[in-house]
Amino acid sequence: MFVGTTEAASLLSISAQRVRVLLKEGRIQGARKINGRTWGIPLYKGKPRVSGRKRGPKPNWSPHRHCGKNTLHFNRPNIEKNRKLKKVDPQAKCEYVLSAQRGSEILGKGHEVEIHGPCRIVYRPEKPHSCGATVWIETLATATVFNFDGTVERVDSRWIWEEEEMWKINKKNIEELISISV
């Protein structure tokens, strides 16, 4: 998976300008310009690889693994509650049925979600999510969550892939992007 300079900056916990300096120095491994203007920076185990220098202090990139994937959950108790409530009172206000989370932090609640990029639907009855869910959606892309009352919440995130699987996908994607730009 490839990210831009701002996404790489947030993964490394540095500024986007510093990422541009590292790109100019050629210190971010595998980074390439796409269409002569934008940078495509590959992720290795969730972060860009930055090569060190011979002199000066060691870089102190964020030592913890930054997991920024969004997890979209379906709230089954609220779905059932809304179904029963509509039978009794069709004008009653419904409760949210979707929640976007990053870790245990709830980023948005609503009844409709629009995912602006790749995502995957996970079904694991043998190994449920920490909240007990057996089905959920994971995504790197930005998601927009809509609610019944008209509120809209934008949720940004990144996806962490395994290096071998990601490298196969990156190799295909970069070759496609280069062939399109030529």
Domain that holds residue 134: 70-155
Quote the pLDDT of residue 175.
59
The alpha carbon dihedral of 78, 83, 86, 91 has a sign of positive
Whether 64 maps to a domain, the answer reads no
Whether 151 maps to a domain, the answer reads yes
Whether 124 maps to a domain, the answer reads yes
Query: Is the CB of residue 148 less than 8 Å from the CB of residue 94?
Result: yes
Res. 102 pLDDT band, cuts 50 70 90: confident
Whether 61 maps to a domain, the answer reads no
Are residues 139 and 90 located together in one domain of the fold?
A: yes
Are residues 117 and 133 located together in one domain of the fold?
A: yes
Are residues 139 and 74 located together in one domain of the fold?
A: yes
Question: Which residue would you say has higher pLDDT here, 127 or 52?
Answer: 127
Mean pLDDT, the chain, whole residue set = 77
Quote the pLDDT of residue 65.
46
Are residues 90 and 149 located together in one domain of the fold?
A: yes
Whether 62 maps to a domain, the answer reads no
HEC string for 1-69: CEECHHHHHHHHCCCHHHHHHHHHHCCECCCEEECCCEEEEECECCECCECCCCCCCCCCCCCCCCCCC
Question: Which residue would you say has higher pLDDT here, 115 or 53?
Answer: 115
Are residues 166 and 151 located together in one domain of the fold?
A: no
H-helix or E-strand containing 170?
Answer: helix 163-181
Domain total of the chain: 2
pTM of the predicted structure, to 2 decimals: 0.48
Tokens of 98: 């979707």
Query: Is the CB of residue 4 less than 8 Å from the CB of residue 43?
Result: no
Report whether pLDDT(124) > 50: yes
